[in-house]
Amino acid sequence: MGGALLLRPGEATRLAERVRGARAPGSHGARHPRPGGGVPVSGPPAGRAVALIGTGSELDRAIAVACAEAGTDIALGTVDRSQEQDFGMNSIANELWAIGREHFVRVMDATEATEAASFADEACDRLGRCDALVASHELFAAVELDELSPDEWERSLRVNLTGPFLAGQAFGRLMERQGSGTIVFVTVERPGGDAAWTAAKAGLDGLADHIGRAWGEAGVSACVVRVAADDPPAGARAVLAAITSHD
């Protein structure tokens, strides 16, 4: 479990084929269609807990619902405190309530170390443990290189790289103590991203690799999953495949 795994959309689909149907002994065997149709893939074994930090996007919704349908409890955290993200995550929470899984929403600024650490503590306290973190931070921009300001550069890196680092560090520490856990950094493939966007996404590869080397012997793994912007169900399958492959 010690290395970083880098998955592109096509590779994730092939991995999903290999891990489909994997369940821990005694877990529920039923599989459910993912939102939007497509080929179902098993999620984390029933009785597990996953934390998802995101913007409330359709991809976040697909990931959360798929995990819940697999019998997983979920902690939801926003990337920032905007009304849009608050609404988006609570809308997802309504679907989790309908499915019947334990869950909660934390509206927070995920680029602040204290808030990331507090969310990790709350997730473990309220759900009993945390088996996987899905870091779906995203602030997309396409500013021309000669027009990109220092403030825009720093803001993009803070959301797209520092935020995932803080989440990975906070949850990784707890996973190290519990003896296992998977950290999945999600990056959406979009054409035309600017220099800051590109640098941040490249930085996630190194971050995942370092986490795997630092905490691998303690049972903590990390990976980057690249997903298509226009296919949330496929993205959710890729994320769940990555979680299950390290389980």
Domain residue limits at 146: 4-19+48-245
Checking if the pLDDT of 16 tops 80, the result is no
pLDDT at 194: 87
pLDDT tens digits along 151-166 = 999 999 999 999 999 9
Mean pLDDT check: name the lowest of 17-21, 82-86, 136-140: 17-21
- pLDDT category at 2 given cuts 50, 70, 90 is very low
Pairing of strands 49-54, 4-7: unpaired
Cα–Cα distance for residue pair 36/59, rounded to 1 Å: 11
**Is 201 among the domain residues?**
yes
**Is 30 among the domain residues?**
no
The crossing angle, in degrees rounded to 10, of helices 195-215 and 163-178 is: 10
- pLDDT category at 43 given cuts 50, 70, 90 is low
pLDDT tens digits along 220-244 = 999 999 999 999 999 999 999 999 8
**Is 42 among the domain residues?**
no
**Is 241 among the domain residues?**
yes
Q: Which has the higher per-residue pLDDT, 137 or 18?
A: 137
Checking if the pLDDT of 212 tops 70, the result is yes
**Is 163 among the domain residues?**
yes
pLDDT at 17: 42
C-alpha triplet 236, 239, 245: angle, nearest 5° = 135
CATH number, residue 185 = 3.40.50.720
pLDDT tens digits along 19-33 = 333 333 333 332 333
pLDDT at 46: 66
**Is 26 among the domain residues?**
no
**Is 37 among the domain residues?**
no
pLDDT tens digits along 83-117 = 999 999 999 999 999 999 999 999 999 999 999 99
**Is 95 among the domain residues?**
yes
- pLDDT category at 38 given cuts 50, 70, 90 is very low
Burial category of 224 from C-beta neighbours within 10 Å (exposed 0-12, middle 13-18, buried 19 and up): buried
Q: Give which of 205, 241, 235 is closest to 3, Cα–Cα.
A: 205
Of the chain, the percentage scoring pLDDT greater than 70 comes to 81
Q: Between the CA of residue 114 and those of 40, 129, 179, 201, 247, what are the distances in Å?
A: 37, 19, 23, 23, 28
pTM attached to this predicted model: 0.83
Burial 72-101 (b: 16+ CB within 10 A, else e): bbbbbbbbbeeeebeebbeebbebbeebeb
Q: How many domains does the chain have?
A: 1
